[in-house]
Chains A and B, each alone.
Chain A
Amino acid sequence: MNLSVLETLVRVAWLAGAATFVIGLMRMNSPATARNGNLLSAGGMVLAVAATAVFLAFEPRDTELNVTGWFIVIAGIALGGGLGLYMARTVKMTAMPQLVSLFNAVGGGAAALIAIDDYLRLTAAPSLQINVATVLDILIGSITFTGSLIASGKLMGLRITPSRPVTIPGGQLVTAALALIVVAGAIYLWIPNLSIPVMLLILAAALVFGVTMTLPIGGADMPVVISLLNSFTGTAVAMAGFVLDNPVLIIAGALVGASGAILTKLMADAMNRSVLNIMIGGFGGGEGTVGAAGGPGGSVRELGVDDAAIQLAYASSVIVVPGYGLAVAQAQHAVRELAELLETRGVDVKYAIHPVAGRMPGHMNVLLAEANVPYPQLKEMEEINPEFDRTDVALVVGANDVTNPAARRPGSPVSGMPILDVDHAKSIIVIKRSMGRGYAGIDNELYVNPKTGMLFADAKAGLSDLVSAVKAL
Protein backbone atom coordinates (compact mmCIF):
# COMPACT_ATOMS: atom_id res chain seq x y z
CA MET A 1 0.00 0.00 0.00
CA ASN A 2 1.16 3.48 -0.78
CA LEU A 3 0.76 6.13 1.85
CA SER A 4 -0.16 9.70 1.09
CA VAL A 5 2.47 12.35 1.84
CA LEU A 6 0.46 13.43 4.85
CA GLU A 7 0.16 9.94 6.27
CA THR A 8 3.85 9.30 5.65
CA LEU A 9 4.79 12.41 7.62
CA VAL A 10 2.44 11.49 10.44
CA ARG A 11 3.87 7.98 10.63
CA VAL A 12 7.40 9.40 10.69
CA ALA A 13 6.36 11.64 13.58
CA TRP A 14 4.91 8.63 15.44
CA LEU A 15 8.09 6.67 14.86
CA ALA A 16 10.15 9.58 16.15
CA GLY A 17 7.88 9.77 19.20
CA ALA A 18 8.31 6.05 19.87
CA ALA A 19 12.10 6.45 19.55
CA THR A 20 12.13 9.27 22.11
CA PHE A 21 10.24 7.03 24.55
CA VAL A 22 12.96 4.38 24.31
CA ILE A 23 15.82 6.88 24.46
CA GLY A 24 14.10 8.75 27.29
CA LEU A 25 13.90 5.58 29.38
CA MET A 26 17.56 4.84 28.58
CA ARG A 27 18.56 8.27 29.81
CA MET A 28 16.77 7.56 33.10
CA ASN A 29 19.65 5.21 33.85
CA SER A 30 21.58 7.88 35.61
CA PRO A 31 20.50 10.75 37.84
CA ALA A 32 22.52 13.13 35.70
CA THR A 33 20.58 12.50 32.49
CA ALA A 34 17.24 11.38 33.89
CA ARG A 35 15.48 14.72 33.79
CA ASN A 36 16.67 15.35 30.29
CA GLY A 37 15.39 11.89 29.30
CA ASN A 38 11.95 12.60 30.69
CA LEU A 39 11.79 15.93 28.84
CA LEU A 40 12.85 14.22 25.63
CA SER A 41 10.11 11.65 26.09
CA ALA A 42 7.59 14.44 26.76
CA GLY A 43 8.74 16.19 23.60
CA GLY A 44 8.17 13.00 21.62
CA MET A 45 4.70 12.75 23.12
CA VAL A 46 3.84 16.31 22.05
CA LEU A 47 5.13 15.56 18.55
CA ALA A 48 3.09 12.35 18.26
CA VAL A 49 -0.09 14.02 19.51
CA ALA A 50 0.38 17.11 17.32
CA ALA A 51 0.98 14.92 14.26
CA THR A 52 -2.20 13.01 15.05
CA ALA A 53 -4.15 16.27 15.25
CA VAL A 54 -2.76 17.42 11.89
CA PHE A 55 -3.59 14.07 10.35
CA LEU A 56 -7.14 14.07 11.66
CA ALA A 57 -7.66 17.65 10.46
CA PHE A 58 -6.31 17.27 6.94
CA GLU A 59 -6.75 13.64 6.00
CA PRO A 60 -9.15 13.32 3.06
CA ARG A 61 -12.46 11.89 4.29
CA ASP A 62 -15.71 11.13 2.63
CA THR A 63 -17.62 12.78 5.44
CA GLU A 64 -17.63 16.40 6.54
CA LEU A 65 -15.43 17.76 9.29
CA ASN A 66 -16.70 16.35 12.58
CA VAL A 67 -17.20 19.60 14.50
CA THR A 68 -18.57 17.93 17.61
CA GLY A 69 -15.70 15.44 17.52
CA TRP A 70 -13.17 18.26 17.44
CA PHE A 71 -14.95 20.07 20.20
CA ILE A 72 -14.67 16.89 22.28
CA VAL A 73 -10.96 16.53 21.56
CA ILE A 74 -10.23 20.13 22.53
CA ALA A 75 -12.50 20.17 25.58
CA GLY A 76 -11.19 16.77 26.73
CA ILE A 77 -7.58 17.86 26.38
CA ALA A 78 -8.28 21.12 28.20
CA LEU A 79 -10.11 19.38 31.05
CA GLY A 80 -7.77 16.40 31.44
CA GLY A 81 -4.65 18.49 30.91
CA GLY A 82 -5.75 21.14 33.38
CA LEU A 83 -6.63 18.58 36.05
CA GLY A 84 -3.44 16.61 35.50
CA LEU A 85 -1.29 19.72 35.58
CA TYR A 86 -2.96 21.04 38.72
CA MET A 87 -2.65 17.77 40.62
CA ALA A 88 0.92 17.10 39.49
CA ARG A 89 2.08 20.55 40.53
CA THR A 90 0.30 20.77 43.86
CA VAL A 91 0.75 17.23 45.18
CA LYS A 92 3.01 16.84 48.17
CA MET A 93 5.94 14.58 47.46
CA THR A 94 4.79 12.19 50.18
CA ALA A 95 1.46 11.75 48.40
CA MET A 96 3.06 11.16 45.03
CA PRO A 97 2.68 7.35 44.81
CA GLN A 98 -1.10 7.58 45.04
CA LEU A 99 -1.11 10.25 42.32
CA VAL A 100 0.96 8.04 40.02
CA SER A 101 -1.55 5.29 40.71
CA LEU A 102 -4.41 7.65 39.85
CA PHE A 103 -2.78 8.66 36.55
CA ASN A 104 -2.30 4.98 35.86
CA ALA A 105 -5.98 4.34 36.54
CA VAL A 106 -7.15 6.92 34.03
CA GLY A 107 -4.67 5.67 31.42
CA GLY A 108 -6.04 2.14 31.78
CA GLY A 109 -9.58 3.50 31.72
CA ALA A 110 -8.91 5.35 28.47
CA ALA A 111 -7.47 2.21 26.87
CA ALA A 112 -10.56 0.23 27.88
CA LEU A 113 -12.89 2.97 26.57
CA ILE A 114 -11.21 2.83 23.16
CA ALA A 115 -11.98 -0.87 22.84
CA ILE A 116 -15.54 -0.42 24.16
CA ASP A 117 -16.17 2.39 21.70
CA ASP A 118 -14.71 0.33 18.87
CA TYR A 119 -16.86 -2.64 19.81
CA LEU A 120 -20.07 -0.59 19.90
CA ARG A 121 -19.44 0.47 16.29
CA LEU A 122 -19.21 -3.07 14.97
CA THR A 123 -21.96 -4.42 12.78
CA ALA A 124 -20.51 -7.90 12.46
CA ALA A 125 -18.09 -9.99 14.49
CA PRO A 126 -14.56 -8.75 13.70
CA SER A 127 -11.60 -10.85 12.62
CA LEU A 128 -10.18 -13.09 15.32
CA GLN A 129 -7.13 -10.94 15.96
CA ILE A 130 -9.18 -7.76 16.44
CA ASN A 131 -11.64 -9.71 18.54
CA VAL A 132 -8.87 -11.03 20.82
CA ALA A 133 -7.22 -7.61 21.13
CA THR A 134 -10.55 -5.91 21.89
CA VAL A 135 -11.53 -8.32 24.63
CA LEU A 136 -8.03 -8.22 26.18
CA ASP A 137 -8.01 -4.43 26.04
CA ILE A 138 -11.39 -4.18 27.80
CA LEU A 139 -10.39 -6.81 30.33
CA ILE A 140 -6.92 -5.51 31.24
CA GLY A 141 -7.86 -1.84 30.99
CA SER A 142 -10.83 -2.24 33.32
CA ILE A 143 -8.93 -4.30 35.90
CA THR A 144 -6.25 -1.60 35.88
CA PHE A 145 -8.81 1.17 36.22
CA THR A 146 -10.55 -0.05 39.36
CA GLY A 147 -7.43 -1.77 40.74
CA SER A 148 -5.36 1.43 40.56
CA LEU A 149 -8.17 3.50 42.06
CA ILE A 150 -8.33 1.13 45.03
CA ALA A 151 -4.53 1.15 45.35
CA SER A 152 -4.55 4.93 45.30
CA GLY A 153 -7.34 5.03 47.88
CA LYS A 154 -5.43 2.63 50.13
CA LEU A 155 -2.36 4.84 50.04
CA MET A 156 -4.48 7.89 50.82
CA GLY A 157 -5.91 5.96 53.76
CA LEU A 158 -9.52 6.52 52.69
CA ARG A 159 -12.01 4.89 55.00
CA ILE A 160 -13.62 2.79 52.28
CA THR A 161 -10.22 1.49 51.23
CA PRO A 162 -8.22 0.94 54.44
CA SER A 163 -4.55 0.25 53.97
CA ARG A 164 -4.78 -2.97 55.96
CA PRO A 165 -5.66 -6.09 54.02
CA VAL A 166 -9.42 -6.40 53.66
CA THR A 167 -10.75 -9.91 53.53
CA ILE A 168 -13.58 -10.37 51.12
CA PRO A 169 -16.06 -13.00 52.28
CA GLY A 170 -15.71 -15.97 50.00
CA GLY A 171 -12.90 -14.14 48.22
CA GLN A 172 -11.56 -17.17 46.37
CA LEU A 173 -15.05 -18.10 45.18
CA VAL A 174 -15.74 -14.57 43.97
CA THR A 175 -12.45 -14.54 42.07
CA ALA A 176 -13.16 -17.93 40.54
CA ALA A 177 -16.67 -16.86 39.52
CA LEU A 178 -15.39 -13.67 37.91
CA ALA A 179 -12.66 -15.56 36.07
CA LEU A 180 -15.25 -18.03 34.82
CA ILE A 181 -17.49 -15.23 33.52
CA VAL A 182 -14.57 -13.62 31.70
CA VAL A 183 -13.26 -16.84 30.15
CA ALA A 184 -16.71 -18.04 29.08
CA GLY A 185 -17.59 -14.60 27.72
CA ALA A 186 -14.33 -14.30 25.83
CA ILE A 187 -14.69 -17.73 24.24
CA TYR A 188 -18.27 -16.94 23.25
CA LEU A 189 -17.18 -13.71 21.55
CA TRP A 190 -14.22 -15.33 19.83
CA ILE A 191 -16.23 -18.17 18.27
CA PRO A 192 -17.09 -15.55 16.77
CA ASN A 193 -20.22 -13.84 17.98
CA LEU A 194 -21.09 -10.17 18.11
CA SER A 195 -22.80 -9.53 21.42
CA ILE A 196 -22.77 -6.19 23.23
CA PRO A 197 -24.38 -7.64 26.40
CA VAL A 198 -21.61 -10.26 26.68
CA MET A 199 -18.99 -7.55 26.14
CA LEU A 200 -20.59 -5.49 28.92
CA LEU A 201 -20.67 -8.57 31.15
CA ILE A 202 -16.91 -9.03 30.67
CA LEU A 203 -16.43 -5.33 31.37
CA ALA A 204 -18.43 -5.54 34.61
CA ALA A 205 -16.62 -8.68 35.75
CA ALA A 206 -13.24 -7.06 35.04
CA LEU A 207 -14.16 -3.90 36.94
CA VAL A 208 -15.22 -5.94 39.97
CA PHE A 209 -12.12 -8.12 39.67
CA GLY A 210 -9.88 -5.03 39.87
CA VAL A 211 -11.47 -4.24 43.23
CA THR A 212 -11.43 -7.76 44.66
CA MET A 213 -7.85 -8.26 43.51
CA THR A 214 -6.50 -5.12 45.21
CA LEU A 215 -8.58 -4.86 48.40
CA PRO A 216 -7.08 -7.89 50.16
CA ILE A 217 -3.52 -6.64 49.66
CA GLY A 218 -1.89 -4.71 52.49
CA GLY A 219 -0.62 -1.14 52.14
CA ALA A 220 3.03 -2.22 52.40
CA ASP A 221 2.71 -4.20 49.19
CA MET A 222 0.95 -1.40 47.29
CA PRO A 223 4.07 -0.25 45.38
CA VAL A 224 4.40 -3.68 43.85
CA VAL A 225 0.72 -3.66 42.98
CA ILE A 226 0.89 -0.20 41.41
CA SER A 227 3.90 -1.25 39.40
CA LEU A 228 2.11 -4.37 38.22
CA LEU A 229 -0.96 -2.36 37.26
CA ASN A 230 1.31 0.09 35.43
CA SER A 231 2.55 -2.84 33.40
CA PHE A 232 -1.07 -3.90 32.80
CA THR A 233 -1.95 -0.47 31.45
CA GLY A 234 0.97 -0.65 29.05
CA THR A 235 -0.33 -3.99 27.81
CA ALA A 236 -3.88 -2.64 27.50
CA VAL A 237 -2.56 0.31 25.47
CA ALA A 238 -0.68 -2.08 23.19
CA MET A 239 -3.94 -4.01 22.69
CA ALA A 240 -5.68 -0.73 21.85
CA GLY A 241 -2.92 -0.29 19.27
CA PHE A 242 -3.89 -3.62 17.69
CA VAL A 243 -7.58 -2.65 17.74
CA LEU A 244 -6.89 0.67 16.01
CA ASP A 245 -3.98 -0.67 13.95
CA ASN A 246 -1.74 2.05 15.32
CA PRO A 247 2.00 1.29 15.62
CA VAL A 248 2.91 3.98 18.14
CA LEU A 249 0.35 2.65 20.62
CA ILE A 250 1.72 -0.86 20.15
CA ILE A 251 5.35 0.23 20.67
CA ALA A 252 4.75 2.51 23.65
CA GLY A 253 2.32 0.07 25.25
CA ALA A 254 4.65 -2.92 24.88
CA LEU A 255 7.58 -0.85 26.16
CA VAL A 256 5.70 0.10 29.32
CA GLY A 257 4.28 -3.40 29.69
CA ALA A 258 7.80 -4.84 29.72
CA SER A 259 9.31 -2.10 31.89
CA GLY A 260 6.50 -2.38 34.43
CA ALA A 261 6.97 -6.14 34.61
CA ILE A 262 10.71 -5.82 35.27
CA LEU A 263 10.18 -3.09 37.84
CA THR A 264 7.52 -5.15 39.59
CA LYS A 265 9.88 -8.08 39.87
CA LEU A 266 12.70 -5.86 41.17
CA MET A 267 10.44 -4.42 43.85
CA ALA A 268 9.13 -7.81 44.90
CA ASP A 269 12.73 -9.10 45.02
CA ALA A 270 13.68 -6.23 47.30
CA MET A 271 11.07 -7.47 49.75
CA ASN A 272 12.05 -11.07 49.11
CA ARG A 273 8.51 -11.86 48.07
CA SER A 274 7.21 -13.27 44.86
CA VAL A 275 4.72 -11.24 42.86
CA LEU A 276 2.32 -14.17 42.97
CA ASN A 277 2.62 -14.37 46.73
CA ILE A 278 1.76 -10.69 47.05
CA MET A 279 -1.21 -10.88 44.71
CA ILE A 280 -2.64 -13.90 46.52
CA GLY A 281 -2.67 -12.56 50.03
CA GLY A 282 -2.01 -9.60 52.26
CA PHE A 283 1.17 -9.18 54.25
CA GLY A 284 1.28 -11.77 57.02
CA GLY A 285 -2.03 -13.06 55.78
CA GLY A 286 -0.93 -16.68 56.03
CA GLU A 287 -2.34 -18.66 58.93
CA GLY A 288 -0.41 -18.56 62.15
CA THR A 289 2.51 -16.50 60.90
CA VAL A 290 1.76 -13.58 63.19
CA GLY A 291 1.52 -15.80 66.24
CA ALA A 292 4.88 -17.36 65.48
CA ALA A 293 6.55 -13.98 65.78
CA GLY A 294 5.25 -13.53 69.29
CA GLY A 295 6.80 -11.78 72.20
CA PRO A 296 10.45 -10.84 72.01
CA GLY A 297 11.47 -10.63 75.63
CA GLY A 298 13.30 -7.73 77.19
CA SER A 299 12.33 -4.24 78.08
CA VAL A 300 12.41 -0.95 76.27
CA ARG A 301 14.89 1.71 77.27
CA GLU A 302 13.56 5.22 76.88
CA LEU A 303 15.97 7.96 75.96
CA GLY A 304 15.68 11.71 76.62
CA VAL A 305 16.42 14.33 73.98
CA ASP A 306 19.56 15.60 75.73
CA ASP A 307 21.05 12.14 76.11
CA ALA A 308 20.37 11.41 72.46
CA ALA A 309 21.92 14.74 71.43
CA ILE A 310 25.11 13.97 73.38
CA GLN A 311 25.40 10.53 71.79
CA LEU A 312 25.04 12.00 68.34
CA ALA A 313 27.25 15.04 68.83
CA TYR A 314 30.19 13.04 70.20
CA ALA A 315 29.94 10.19 67.73
CA SER A 316 32.46 10.02 64.93
CA SER A 317 30.06 8.35 62.53
CA VAL A 318 26.27 8.37 62.32
CA ILE A 319 24.02 6.53 59.90
CA VAL A 320 20.51 7.91 59.54
CA VAL A 321 17.87 5.31 58.69
CA PRO A 322 14.82 7.15 57.36
CA GLY A 323 11.47 5.45 56.91
CA TYR A 324 7.97 6.35 55.92
CA GLY A 325 7.32 7.87 59.35
CA LEU A 326 9.84 10.55 58.44
CA ALA A 327 7.99 11.26 55.24
CA VAL A 328 4.53 11.51 56.74
CA ALA A 329 5.83 13.85 59.43
CA GLN A 330 7.38 16.00 56.67
CA ALA A 331 10.61 15.73 58.62
CA GLN A 332 13.04 15.46 55.71
CA HIS A 333 14.16 19.07 56.16
CA ALA A 334 14.61 18.62 59.90
CA VAL A 335 16.75 15.53 59.39
CA ARG A 336 18.92 17.35 56.88
CA GLU A 337 19.36 20.23 59.32
CA LEU A 338 20.45 17.83 62.05
CA ALA A 339 22.83 16.06 59.68
CA GLU A 340 24.44 19.32 58.59
CA LEU A 341 24.80 20.43 62.18
CA LEU A 342 26.51 17.15 63.07
CA GLU A 343 28.79 17.49 60.05
CA THR A 344 29.97 20.91 61.18
CA ARG A 345 31.03 19.15 64.38
CA GLY A 346 33.04 16.70 62.32
CA VAL A 347 30.65 13.78 62.48
CA ASP A 348 30.54 11.59 59.40
CA VAL A 349 26.86 11.34 58.39
CA LYS A 350 25.35 8.94 55.89
CA TYR A 351 21.84 7.85 55.06
CA ALA A 352 20.90 4.19 54.72
CA ILE A 353 18.13 3.78 52.18
CA HIS A 354 16.25 0.51 52.19
CA PRO A 355 14.98 -0.39 48.71
CA VAL A 356 11.38 -0.10 49.87
CA ALA A 357 11.77 2.79 52.30
CA GLY A 358 8.90 5.18 51.83
CA ARG A 359 6.10 3.95 49.66
CA MET A 360 7.91 2.98 46.49
CA PRO A 361 11.48 2.02 45.65
CA GLY A 362 13.45 5.22 45.37
CA HIS A 363 10.70 7.21 47.07
CA MET A 364 12.93 8.05 50.04
CA ASN A 365 15.66 9.31 47.72
CA VAL A 366 13.17 11.68 46.16
CA LEU A 367 11.99 12.95 49.52
CA LEU A 368 15.52 13.51 50.81
CA ALA A 369 16.62 15.10 47.55
CA GLU A 370 13.69 17.48 47.98
CA ALA A 371 15.24 18.54 51.28
CA ASN A 372 18.61 19.09 49.55
CA VAL A 373 20.36 16.15 51.12
CA PRO A 374 23.47 15.64 48.99
CA TYR A 375 22.96 12.68 46.71
CA PRO A 376 26.35 11.02 47.47
CA GLN A 377 25.38 10.68 51.15
CA LEU A 378 22.46 8.42 50.25
CA LYS A 379 23.67 4.84 50.44
CA GLU A 380 21.82 1.79 49.24
CA MET A 381 21.33 -1.21 51.45
CA GLU A 382 24.06 -3.49 50.09
CA GLU A 383 26.55 -0.66 50.24
CA ILE A 384 25.79 0.52 53.76
CA ASN A 385 25.12 -2.76 55.58
CA PRO A 386 28.82 -3.66 56.13
CA GLU A 387 29.36 -0.17 57.56
CA PHE A 388 26.99 -0.53 60.51
CA ASP A 389 29.65 -2.54 62.40
CA ARG A 390 31.97 0.47 62.37
CA THR A 391 29.26 3.02 63.11
CA ASP A 392 28.85 4.71 66.48
CA VAL A 393 25.20 5.64 66.26
CA ALA A 394 22.41 4.48 63.98
CA LEU A 395 19.55 6.98 64.07
CA VAL A 396 16.31 5.33 62.99
CA VAL A 397 13.59 7.81 62.11
CA GLY A 398 10.18 6.39 61.34
CA ALA A 399 11.47 3.11 59.93
CA ASN A 400 10.21 -0.12 61.38
CA ASP A 401 9.89 -3.43 59.55
CA VAL A 402 12.99 -2.86 57.42
CA THR A 403 15.12 -2.82 60.58
CA ASN A 404 13.59 -5.83 62.33
CA PRO A 405 16.23 -8.48 63.04
CA ALA A 406 13.41 -11.05 63.16
CA ALA A 407 13.67 -11.09 59.39
CA ARG A 408 16.89 -13.10 59.66
CA ARG A 409 15.05 -16.02 61.30
CA PRO A 410 12.34 -18.12 59.74
CA GLY A 411 8.86 -18.12 61.19
CA SER A 412 8.07 -14.43 61.13
CA PRO A 413 5.95 -12.58 58.55
CA VAL A 414 9.01 -10.55 57.61
CA SER A 415 11.30 -13.59 57.39
CA GLY A 416 13.68 -13.42 54.51
CA MET A 417 13.02 -9.77 53.80
CA PRO A 418 16.38 -8.03 53.36
CA ILE A 419 16.88 -5.65 56.25
CA LEU A 420 19.28 -2.91 57.21
CA ASP A 421 21.75 -4.25 59.78
CA VAL A 422 20.94 -1.46 62.20
CA ASP A 423 21.46 -3.72 65.21
CA HIS A 424 25.15 -4.06 64.28
CA ALA A 425 25.81 -0.43 65.13
CA LYS A 426 27.49 0.36 68.48
CA SER A 427 24.38 2.16 69.66
CA ILE A 428 20.98 2.82 68.23
CA ILE A 429 18.55 5.69 68.65
CA VAL A 430 15.00 5.18 67.44
CA ILE A 431 12.71 8.16 67.03
CA LYS A 432 9.16 6.89 67.03
CA ARG A 433 5.80 8.14 68.20
CA SER A 434 4.85 5.00 70.09
CA MET A 435 5.57 1.31 70.27
CA GLY A 436 3.07 0.87 67.45
CA ARG A 437 3.71 -1.79 64.86
CA GLY A 438 4.71 -1.41 61.24
CA TYR A 439 2.84 -2.71 58.23
CA ALA A 440 3.86 -6.27 58.97
CA GLY A 441 1.89 -5.98 62.21
CA ILE A 442 4.61 -7.49 64.40
CA ASP A 443 6.85 -6.24 67.20
CA ASN A 444 10.28 -5.02 66.26
CA GLU A 445 13.00 -6.84 68.19
CA LEU A 446 15.33 -3.94 67.57
CA TYR A 447 13.40 -1.87 70.12
CA VAL A 448 14.18 -4.20 73.00
CA ASN A 449 17.86 -4.51 72.07
CA PRO A 450 19.96 -3.34 75.06
CA LYS A 451 21.89 -1.03 72.68
CA THR A 452 18.72 0.74 71.62
CA GLY A 453 17.36 3.93 73.14
CA MET A 454 13.83 4.94 72.22
CA LEU A 455 13.08 8.62 71.78
CA PHE A 456 9.29 8.82 71.77
CA ALA A 457 8.30 11.79 69.62
CA ASP A 458 6.84 12.77 66.31
CA ALA A 459 9.67 12.52 63.77
CA LYS A 460 9.70 16.22 62.97
CA ALA A 461 9.33 17.45 66.54
CA GLY A 462 11.90 14.94 67.79
CA LEU A 463 14.45 15.97 65.18
CA SER A 464 13.91 19.68 65.82
CA ASP A 465 14.41 19.10 69.54
CA LEU A 466 17.61 17.20 68.77
CA VAL A 467 18.84 20.10 66.64
CA SER A 468 18.29 22.59 69.48
CA ALA A 469 19.82 20.21 72.00
CA VAL A 470 22.95 19.66 69.88
CA LYS A 471 23.27 23.42 69.33
CA ALA A 472 23.08 23.98 73.08
CA LEU A 473 25.97 21.60 73.78
Chain B
Amino acid sequence: MNAELFTALTIFVLAILCGFAVISKVPATLHTPLMSGANSIHGIVLVGSMFIAIESDNPAAYALSFIAVAFSTMNVVGGYVVTDRMLQMFKRRPAAPKAEKAEA
Protein backbone atom coordinates (compact mmCIF):
# COMPACT_ATOMS: atom_id res chain seq x y z
CA MET B 1 0.00 0.00 0.00
CA ASN B 2 1.38 3.40 -0.92
CA ALA B 3 1.03 6.72 0.89
CA GLU B 4 -1.37 8.19 -1.65
CA LEU B 5 -3.81 5.35 -1.35
CA PHE B 6 -3.61 5.63 2.41
CA THR B 7 -4.43 9.34 2.19
CA ALA B 8 -7.40 8.53 -0.06
CA LEU B 9 -8.62 5.89 2.40
CA THR B 10 -8.26 8.36 5.28
CA ILE B 11 -10.36 10.91 3.41
CA PHE B 12 -12.92 8.23 2.59
CA VAL B 13 -13.34 7.05 6.19
CA LEU B 14 -13.48 10.57 7.65
CA ALA B 15 -16.02 11.65 5.03
CA ILE B 16 -18.23 8.69 5.96
CA LEU B 17 -18.09 9.64 9.65
CA CYS B 18 -18.79 13.23 8.69
CA GLY B 19 -21.87 12.10 6.75
CA PHE B 20 -23.17 10.14 9.74
CA ALA B 21 -22.62 13.07 12.09
CA VAL B 22 -24.24 15.68 9.89
CA ILE B 23 -27.27 13.67 8.83
CA SER B 24 -28.37 12.26 12.14
CA LYS B 25 -29.37 15.74 13.28
CA VAL B 26 -31.88 16.43 10.48
CA PRO B 27 -35.57 16.52 11.55
CA ALA B 28 -37.97 14.11 9.85
CA THR B 29 -39.87 16.87 8.08
CA LEU B 30 -36.79 17.65 6.04
CA HIS B 31 -35.98 14.08 5.13
CA THR B 32 -37.36 14.25 1.60
CA PRO B 33 -35.51 17.45 0.69
CA LEU B 34 -32.47 15.99 2.39
CA MET B 35 -32.56 12.81 0.35
CA SER B 36 -32.94 14.92 -2.76
CA GLY B 37 -30.13 17.25 -1.67
CA ALA B 38 -27.79 14.33 -0.98
CA ASN B 39 -28.85 12.93 -4.33
CA SER B 40 -27.67 16.08 -6.10
CA ILE B 41 -24.35 16.02 -4.24
CA HIS B 42 -23.37 12.71 -5.81
CA GLY B 43 -23.79 14.51 -9.12
CA ILE B 44 -20.18 15.51 -8.43
CA VAL B 45 -19.50 12.43 -10.55
CA LEU B 46 -19.73 14.99 -13.38
CA VAL B 47 -16.14 15.97 -12.57
CA GLY B 48 -15.07 12.39 -13.24
CA SER B 49 -17.17 12.21 -16.41
CA MET B 50 -15.43 15.34 -17.74
CA PHE B 51 -12.03 13.76 -17.14
CA ILE B 52 -12.88 10.60 -19.05
CA ALA B 53 -14.42 12.65 -21.90
CA ILE B 54 -11.27 14.70 -22.39
CA GLU B 55 -9.10 11.60 -22.25
CA SER B 56 -11.22 9.77 -24.83
CA ASP B 57 -9.68 8.92 -28.18
CA ASN B 58 -11.96 6.36 -29.81
CA PRO B 59 -15.66 6.15 -30.71
CA ALA B 60 -16.56 3.74 -27.91
CA ALA B 61 -14.94 5.97 -25.29
CA TYR B 62 -16.60 9.04 -26.81
CA ALA B 63 -19.99 7.36 -26.62
CA LEU B 64 -19.50 6.18 -23.04
CA SER B 65 -18.23 9.52 -21.83
CA PHE B 66 -20.98 11.44 -23.61
CA ILE B 67 -23.62 9.41 -21.80
CA ALA B 68 -21.69 9.77 -18.54
CA VAL B 69 -21.48 13.58 -18.88
CA ALA B 70 -25.16 13.89 -19.84
CA PHE B 71 -26.27 11.56 -17.02
CA SER B 72 -24.24 13.29 -14.35
CA THR B 73 -25.27 16.79 -15.43
CA MET B 74 -28.88 15.68 -15.29
CA ASN B 75 -28.24 14.42 -11.76
CA VAL B 76 -26.64 17.73 -10.71
CA VAL B 77 -28.98 20.24 -12.34
CA GLY B 78 -32.21 18.32 -11.82
CA GLY B 79 -31.27 17.41 -8.26
CA TYR B 80 -30.48 20.92 -7.07
CA VAL B 81 -33.43 22.52 -8.84
CA VAL B 82 -35.99 20.04 -7.51
CA THR B 83 -34.54 20.30 -4.00
CA ASP B 84 -34.77 24.06 -4.18
CA ARG B 85 -38.38 23.81 -5.31
CA MET B 86 -39.19 21.69 -2.28
CA LEU B 87 -37.38 23.93 0.17
CA GLN B 88 -38.87 27.08 -1.28
CA MET B 89 -42.23 25.83 -0.05
CA PHE B 90 -41.19 25.74 3.55
CA LYS B 91 -40.53 29.44 3.41
CA ARG B 92 -43.42 31.24 1.90
CA ARG B 93 -46.48 31.30 4.08
CA PRO B 94 -48.39 34.56 3.61
CA ALA B 95 -52.06 35.12 4.60
CA ALA B 96 -52.13 32.30 7.14
CA PRO B 97 -52.23 33.17 10.83
CA LYS B 98 -48.91 34.45 12.06
CA ALA B 99 -46.92 32.06 14.16
CA GLU B 100 -43.45 33.39 14.49
CA LYS B 101 -40.57 30.98 14.29
CA ALA B 102 -41.63 27.38 14.11
CA GLU B 103 -40.34 25.03 16.74
CA ALA B 104 -36.99 25.38 15.07
Show the binding face of A for B, using Cβ within 8 Å: 14, 17-18, 21-22, 24-26, 28-32, 34-35, 37-39, 41-42, 45, 48-49, 52-53, 56, 66, 68-70, 72-73, 75-77, 79-81, 83-85, 87-89, 91, 93, 96-97, 99-100, 103-104, 106-107, 109-111, 113-114, 116-118, 120-121, 129, 226-227, 230, 233-234, 237-238, 240-242, 244-263, 266-267, 270, 340, 343, 353, 355, 358, 360-363, 365-366, 369-370, 372-378, 380
Contacts and interface: CB of A to CB of B under 8 A. Distances in A.
B44 A56 contact: no
Contacts of B13: 254
A45 B42 contact: no
Contacts of B52: 113-114, 117-118, 244
A22 B18 contact: yes
19 contacts: A25-B22, A29-B27, A38-B83, A45-B41, A72-B56, A76-B73, A77-B69, A81-B76, A103-B79, A107-B72, A121-B55, A227-B35, A240-B48, A248-B44, A252-B15, A255-B16, A256-B41, A256-B42, A262-B19
B12 A254 contact: yes
A256 B60 CA distance: 30
Contacts of A93: 85-86, 89
B37 A76 contact: no
Contacts of B50: 49, 52-53, 56, 73
A192 B95 CA distance: 67
Interface of A is mostly: helix
Contact of B8 (A104, A113, A245): A245
Given A34-B87, A103-B75, A237-B45, A72 B53 contact: yes
Nearest to A359: B32
Given A89-B85, A260-B38, A372 B93 contact: yes
B47 A52 contact: yes
B5 to A, nearest CB: 5
A246 B47 contact: yes
Given A99-B82, A117-B61, A250 B104 contact: no
B85 A263 contact: no
A256 B45 contact: no
A470 B53 CA distance: 63
A14 B19 CA distance: 18
A263 B35 contact: yes
Contact of A257 (B19, B48, B84): B19
A114 B68 contact: yes
Contact of B86 (A24, A37, A96, A109): A96
A14 B55 CA distance: 20
B15 to A, nearest CB: 4
B75 A107 contact: yes
Contacts of A226: 35
A35 B45 contact: no
A26 B4 CA distance: 29
B37 A41 contact: yes
Nearest to B63: A72
A378 B93 CA distance: 13
A113 B104 CA distance: 42
A83 B78 contact: yes
B81 A49 contact: no
Interface centre among A80, A369, A374 (most CB of B within 10 A): A80
- What size tier do the contact residues of chain B reach? 35 or more
B15 A255 contact: yes
B44 A80 contact: no
A81 to B, nearest CB: 4
A24 B74 CA distance: 20
A134 to B, nearest CB: 13
Contacts of A230: 35, 38-39, 42
Interface centre among B33, B55, B70, B74 (most CB of A within 10 A): B74
B47 to A, nearest CB: 5
Nearest to B20: A258
Contact of A25 (B29, B34, B87): B34
A28 B80 CA distance: 13
A31 B23 contact: no
B66 A76 contact: yes
Contact of B18 (A85, A258, A376, A380): A258
A367 to B, nearest CB: 9
B90 A117 contact: no
A353 B31 CA distance: 13
A255 B38 CA distance: 8
A91 B82 contact: yes
Given A42-B80, A256-B19, A107 B5 contact: no
A42 B40 CA distance: 8
A266 B20 CA distance: 12
Given A110-B71, A255-B19, A76 B79 contact: no
A372 B95 contact: yes
Given A28-B26, A69-B55, A84 B83 contact: no
A250 B10 CA distance: 10
Contacts of B101: 32
Contacts of B28: 266, 270, 355, 361-362, 380
Contacts of A244: 48, 51-52
Contacts of B104: 30-32
A17 B76 CA distance: 13
B38 A234 contact: yes
